[in-house]
Structure 1
Amino acid sequence: MSQALRISTERDELDVDLIHAFLSETYWARGIPRAVVERAIAGSLCFGGYLGDRQVAFARVITDGATFGYLSDVFVLPEHRGCGYARALVAAVLAHPDLQGLRRLMLATRDAHALYAGFGFAAPAKPEMLMERLDPDIYSRTSPES
């Protein structure tokens, strides 16, 4: 049986080195500079998932705390997958008091649709209303200090 995942929103517990190392190798943030990760953490509601004192999971929500939120950078370290930790992490995010009553909570995923569908996420009801400005190569064109 898996050890229970402890989830905390305390920023001072976050292992920023681990978060940066993981995110910089993902399909959605490859090459992200550490300074950008630090700014993203500072401007978000962050959730660390811990086994003992070791961080093994992370998620953050960019939100105004009133109407909108965007769930981002959700991960569980590969060696800890398959234990229900992603589900526990997302459940903790959705239960957080600062995220109650939001009109819209969005996310983007390439491969975890089943996980999020279990929490009520679905394709946008009116995708024709959504737009984005995407620059997928921004980290390869900017300085490491950005």
Structure 2
Amino acid sequence: MDFIYGEYLISDNKELMDIHAVKGFLARSYWANKRSDEKIEKSIHSSVCFGIYKEEIQVGFARVVTDDATMYWLCDVFIHEEYRGRGLGKKLIEVITQSDRFKDLMGLLGTLDAHELYEQYQFNRNSERFMIRLPDYLRA
């Protein structure tokens, strides 16, 4: 799936992914900075991954783990520091949560500091860290 947002491409095509950019960001994150390169590569291989690209430069990423029947776990969401404040994170979450593949599945995620972002897309706090989004068909 490809989606154009201004001068950016949001895509789940793993062939476009810059694995070095993804590893670099995750190494700077609070949640994945101790993961080995091997674990990161295996997690990407086993997940649905979305990238945001400006020309060939990867500026964003999100990973979705799913059974494709009942639920998905949204994780490893990032926007490169130089590209924040442009609505890219919001558009990425919108594309994922409104996609035909995920909109009718229960969404789960964990965050320490981005609750307000995810609440805009119907995720609700389940505890201090975890959030849940009911499938569209249950919220309708």
- TM-score norm. by structure 1 comes to 0.80
Tell me which of the two structures has the higher relative contact order, counting C-alpha pairs closer than 8 angstroms and 6 or more residues apart. 1
1:3, CA displacement in angstroms? 4.7
The residue aligned with 1:97 is 100
The residue aligned with 1:139 is none
List, as ranges, runs of 4+ consecutive aligned residues in structure 1 with deviation greater than 6 Å: none
The question of whether the paired residues in 2 share the 8 Å contact of 1:65 and 1:98 is answered with: yes
Which of 78, 86, 101 pairs up with 2:81? 78
Distance 2:103 2:123 in 1: 15
The residue aligned with 2:66 is 63
Which of 107, 110, 113 pairs up with 2:112? 110
Aligned-pair Cα RMSD in Å: 1.6
Which segments of 5 or more consecutive residues in structure 1 lack a partner in the other structure? 131-146
Which of 123, 126, 144 pairs up with 2:125? 123
Q: 1:18-48: per-residue Cα shift (whole Å, max 9, x none)?
A: 1011101211011211111111011111000
Which of 47, 50, 54 pairs up with 1:51? 54
Distance 2:46 2:101 in 1: 14
Distance 2:93 2:40 in 1: 20
Distance 2:103 2:79 in 1: 24
Pair 1:6 & 2:21 matched: no
Which segments of 5 or more consecutive residues in structure 2 lack a partner in the other structure? 131-140
The percent of aligned pairs where both chains have the same amino acid is: 35
The question of whether the paired residues in 2 share the 8 Å contact of 1:72 and 1:107 is answered with: yes
- DSSP 3-state at the match of 1:99: coil
Give the length in aligned residue pairs.
124
The residue aligned with 1:19 is 22
Distance 2:96 2:107 in 1: 11
Higher strand share: 2
